[in-house]
Amino acid sequence: MYGAGATVTLLLSQPEMLPAIAGTDASMHAAIPALTMFLIIFPLFTLLLLFNCLIIFSNRHIKTLLTTFPFFFRFVNFSNL
């Protein structure tokens, strides 16, 4: 048995292992793009969206965020706050 992180890593490095992990035949290979979208791209997009909401709705904590995550705020103009 594989853990979730190991399964994703294995699918990205060796997608031909998907039938062995899923216990299905080679017809399951068509699901690899959907799995990639669901397991990787969708969570990253969701985190980015939540992070944007955090920036927009928490002006009170801008200074804390600036000191904690300076890279993300490099191109943001805070002069109007």
pLDDT given for residue 63 in this prediction = 63
Give the side-chain half-sphere CA count within 13 A for 12: 11
Domain boundaries, the chain: 4-73
Averaged pLDDT, 54-59: 68
Per-residue pLDDT tens over the stretch 39-54: 777 778 888 888 877 7
Per-residue pLDDT tens over the stretch 2-37: 555 566 666 666 666 555 655 555 555 666 677 777
pLDDT given for residue 53 in this prediction = 73
Higher pLDDT, 8 or 1: 8
Token pair, residue 34, equals 């959907």
Token pair, residue 56, equals 């927009």
Question: Residue 1 is which amino acid?
Answer: M
pLDDT given for residue 1 in this prediction = 45
